[in-house]
Amino acid sequence: MKKIHEDEALLVIDKPAGKTIAELEKDLYPSKLPRAGIVHRLDKDTSGLLLIAKNNESLNSLQKQFKERKVEKEYLCLTIGKPEKEGKIETLIGRSSSNRKKQKVYLHSEPKKGRMREAVTFYKRIKEFKNYSLLKVKPITGRKHQIRCHLSYLNHPIVGDKVYGFKNQPCPKGLSRQFLHASFLKVDNKEFFSELPLDLKTILNKIK
């Protein structure tokens, strides 16, 4: 686990794929020292930038900025097929009634069932391959599984996504997780960057 930045209030790490938030907390605080904690979430098989507040004042400030949508986030992902060059996805997202582990897109015009929340995602295609597209994705809201759910809704699911992907969809040999990486964060006028990890770079080189 690589530290990107650390000061008295904030720690920014480069989360490896395969680690849950609970496992990260044990790694970061093995002796259970006083702490505020991880501010936001990344799925187990998503890699990239993660913010950790080191005191309660920092935690409250960061949570407020997330709530007010002042934190800028960007992800890189590889999707099936070729979506439009760029676009905006704006829907409601709520838990799927048929699979409790999944989220589902609901349109504003649909009858409302259960708790649904607004979800907004911008994307831009930055590279094309034969069967895939590399996208830069900017979620405005922060709903659970938002990017994965939204891209699946567009019929361009993330490559390697076992939950939101389609049956028998193509997958590059050697990819063992979803191709999704949190590459950029801007908070308190500080910008943080994370390059694609080696496993994802290797996949891109294979499909060129």
Per-residue pLDDT of 95-115, as tens digits, reads 888 887 899 998 877 766 668
Average pLDDT, the chain: 91
Average pLDDT over residues 173-185: 96
Task: Kindly state the tokens that stand for 14.
Answer: 């480069």
pLDDT value at residue 163 = 94
Distance between CA atoms of residues 162 and 176, nearest Å: 10
Is 49 within 8 Å of 184 (Cβ atoms)? Answer: yes
Is 149 within 8 Å of 101 (Cβ atoms)? Answer: no
pLDDT tier for residue 31 given thresholds of 50, 70 and 90: low
- Whether pLDDT at 35 is above 60: no
Distance between CA atoms of residues 37 and 34, nearest Å: 9
Residue type, 61: S
> Among 45-49, 50-54, 138-142, 174-178, where is mean pLDDT lowest?
50-54
Give percent of the chain with pLDDT exceeding 70.
Answer: 94
pLDDT value at residue 120 = 97
Q: Has 199 been annotated as catalytic?
A: no
Catalytic-role residue among 7, 14, 27, 43: 43
Distance between CA atoms of residues 16 and 1, nearest Å: 6
H runs (alpha helix) in 68-145: none
